[in-house]
Amino acid sequence: MVTSQALISSAVVAAVDLTHKALEISARGGAVLAHERSTVYAVGVAAVCVAWAGAVAMLRAPAIGFAAGLLVGGAVGNVLSLALWPSLAGVPNPI
């Protein structure tokens, strides 16, 4: 149960994040601010997310699973942004 809540909330947050970035990048012709991120950042965030997800799965607390999914979804959105928009100087910040 906790794992499914975390997966659903993280997938929703990552999808909303990436959709928002894609729409803003398209609307502005790629002229969005970007936060520089290195490969070390991407690998580190991925490792922390896996560790965090494992710890949350062991807790078996639904509220924590949902909240952890929000955190992981945002991190996944940022890491995927590096792969989806390599022409930008980092993670797009269209807000």
Instruction: Please say if the pLDDT value at position 75 is more than 90.
Output: no
Residue positions counted in the chain: 95
Question: What pLDDT digit, counting tens, does each position of 78-88 carry?
Answer: 889 888 888 88
Using DSSP, state whether 91 is helix, strand or coil: strand
Instruction: Please say if the pLDDT value at position 31 is more than 70.
Output: yes
Nearest to 88 by CA among 40, 21, 43: 21
Q: Mean pLDDT over all residues of the chain?
A: 84
**What are the residues whose beta carbons fall under 8 Å from the beta carbon of 48, sequence distance 6 or more?**
75
What is the chain's alpha carbon radius of gyration, rounded to the nearest angstrom? 14
**Average pLDDT, integer, range 2-27:** 87
Give the percent of the chain with pLDDT over 70.
96
Residues 22-50: b if buried by 16+ CB within 10 A, e if exposed:
eebbeeeeeebebeebeeebbeebeeebe
Say what the pLDDT of residue 4 is: 79
Give the percent of the chain with pLDDT over 90.
12
Query: pTM, whole model, 2 decimals?
Result: 0.81
